[in-house]
Structure 1
Amino acid sequence: MLPSYFFAHGAPSIVLELNVYTDLLKQFGATTPRPKAVIVFSAHWEEPQQTVSTVSRYDTIYDFSGFQDELYRMMYPAEGHLPLSEEIRSLFETHGIPCGVDGERGLDHGVWAVLKMIYPDADVPVIALSVNRHLSNEQQYRIGQVLGALRERDVLIIGSGGTVHNLRKLRWQAGDAVDEWAFSFDNWLQEKLEAWDTEALFQYRELAPYAQEAVPTNEHFIPLLLAMGSGDANKQAKLLHRSYQYGNLGLSCWQFG
């Protein structure tokens, strides 16, 4: 059974960078078993109900501005997997999770910037899934849990977001300096994830230090809960990497299961 994963996608320019974290992503694709398909929950696709992509071949969405020209020339023409999309829709329906489909939307940078480093040839089928910031944390976990059995069939489940993601607090010239509040929040999160303490995690806004600073809006945090939920059958969490850019922008990778 494949583990599920959470990958922080950082700034869109991460796909052009050479550092320890981007090396990890590139090595991940080269050293882990190649899946039959990859499901990606992206923080940058928000819908009022769970939505599943039914695209045959994706366009590339440039959902950012002010970055290097090279980024706007990048393409990630991955194919979809319509039978798996339909199976996912059916699973949600069976478990009482309202679900829609989208046959037009391309891949946003929360998907393609990560996958371009893992599978640069865009040769693994992709199913993009939306997030809904208005659901409870328990409901987010449950959505991931419903898909967990797909891991037994070599389907890779990824949540793409960020544990510490506050654009208003970024310090672009910070160099290697990291804000203590970002460390404090992530340290609390690591303790609860490794203990699989869902009771505390579902109440992170009330219990975690500096939660408001780290997670001012929850769309980037949701993919972590979705990926964790899909690893529920094993209940094992492993931190593969954690670093920061611009003073506090978290770059972390978690393995579940």
Structure 2
Amino acid sequence: MLPSFFLAHGAPTLVLENNEYTKFLRDLANELQRPKGIVLFSAHWEEPIQSISGVETYDMIYDFYGFPDEMYQITYPATGNKQMTKEIQALLTAQGIPSRIDEKRGLDHGAWVILRLMYPDADIPVTTLSVNPALPPQEQYQIGRALASLRDKDILIIGSGGTVHNLRRLEWNGTHPNEWAVAFDRWLANQLEEWDLESLFQYENRAPYAKDAVPRNEHFIPLLIAMGAANDQRKANLLYQNYQYGTLSLSCWQFGE
């Protein structure tokens, strides 16, 4: 059984960088059992109904502006898996979770930054899924829980986002993490390691600096989904944590074993 993971995708330029975190992601892929497929929830795909990609070959989505020209030349020719798409929809339906299949959407940078660093050959089938910011945390968790059985089939479940993600609070010349960002991540780590769902589901009211760290929840949702996918084992391990620009959290959480 593969663990599920929450992975920070950082700024889009992460894909071109050679640093401690990009090395960590490459090493993580090499250490893991090679998955037969990848299921990835991206913070940059928002839909009111749970959407599941059903494409055969993904186009690229360059969902950013003002970056160097080379960023718009990056390719990642991932292929989909229609059988996996149908299986995901069946699992969601069995738990009463409405969903739809999207046969057009390509890969946004929340997906291809992580995938290109971990599996640069693009030779593992990928199914991407949306997030819905309108759902309460407990329902986000249940989405992950509905897909937990995929882990038994050597499918790697990834939530791609960021625990502290506030573009207005970035410190572009910052060389040390801001204390409030660290305080939020420290609180979060305590709840994850204790698997304290009650506190996590009320993080907006209980966590220090929650409004600064999570001004919108789209980057936080993939964490709850990845966690839910390991509900049977309820074990959380922080594998990596660092910060860019003072407040942008780069973290990797492993759920399950």
Superposition TM-score tier, normalisation by shorter sequence: over 0.9
Match of 2:124 in 1: 124
C-alpha separation in 2, matches of 1:53 and 1:173: 38
Alignment of 1:213 with 2:212, yes or no, is yes
Residues 1:238 and 2:242 are matched in the alignment: no
Q: Which whole-Å CA distance do the structure 2 matches of 1:230 and 1:167 have between them? A: 28
Aligned residues with identical type, % of pairs: 57
- Superimposed CA distance per residue, residues 196-243 of structure 1 (whole angstroms, 9 cap, x where no aligned partner): 001100000000000000000000000000000001110000000000
Amino acid of the structure 2 residue aligned with 1:255: Q
Q: Distance in 2 between matches of 1:68 and 1:226?
A: 33
1:44-94 CA deviation, whole Å, 9 max, x = no partner? Answer: 000001000000010111001111211110101100010010010111111
Deviation at 1:111, TM superposition (A): 0.3
CA–CA separation in structure 1 for the residues paired with 2:51 and 2:25: 26
* Structure-2 separation of matches of 1:65 and 1:160: 20
Q: Could you say which residue in structure 2 is the equivalent of 1:36?
A: 36
Counterpart AA for 1:117: L
Matching residue of 2:71: 71
Find the residue that maps to 1:186 and give its secondary structure.
helix
Aligned-pair distance for 1:173? 1.1
Structure 1 segments, 4+ long, off by >4 Å, are none
2:191 partner SS: helix
Q: What does residue range 181-220 of structure 1 map to in structure 2 within 5 Å?
A: 181-220=180-219
Give the equivalent residue in structure 1 for 2:222: 223
CA–CA distance in 2 between the matches of 1:69 and 1:113? 16
Residue-by-residue CA offset, 1:32-51 (whole Å, 9 max, x unaligned): 11100000000000000100
Equivalents in 1 of 2:137, 2:33: separation in Å?
30
* Equivalent position SS for 2:163: coil
Q: Secondary structure at the match of 1:75?
A: coil
| Corresponding position: 1:52 with 2:71 | no
2:155 is equivalent to residue 147 of structure 1: no
Structure 2: give runs of 5+ residues left out of the alignment.
none
Size of the aligned set, in residue pairs, is 256
Report the RMSD for the aligned CA atoms in angstroms.
0.6
Paired residue type of 1:107: L
| Matched letter for residue 150 of structure 1 | L
**Partner SS state of residue 15, structure 2:** helix
- Deviation of 1:18 after TM superposition, in Å, equals 1.3
What is the deviation of 1:20?
1.0
Structure-1 residue corresponding to 2:250: 251
What secondary structure does 1:18 align onto? coil
Q: Scaled by the length of structure 2, what TM-score is found?
A: 0.99
Q: Which AA in structure 2 matches 1:61?
A: I
Question: Helix, strand or coil for the counterpart of 1:10?
Answer: coil
- State the TM-score, normalized to the length of structure 1: 0.99
| Secondary structure, counterpart of 1:128 in structure 2 | strand
| Aligned-partner residue type, residue 35 of structure 1 | P
Partner-residue secondary structure (3-state), 2:147: helix
User: Which shows bigger deviation, 38-47 or 65-74?
Assistant: 65-74
What is the alpha-carbon distance in structure 2 between the residues aligned to residue 53 and residue 244 of structure 1?
31
Give 3-state SS (helix, strand or coil) of 1:58's partner.
Answer: coil
**In 1, Cα distance between the equivalents of 2:231 and 2:59?**
33
> What is the one-letter code of the residue matched to 2:14?
I
What does residue 161 of structure 1 align with?
161
Distance in 1 of aligned mates of 2:42 and 2:170: 21
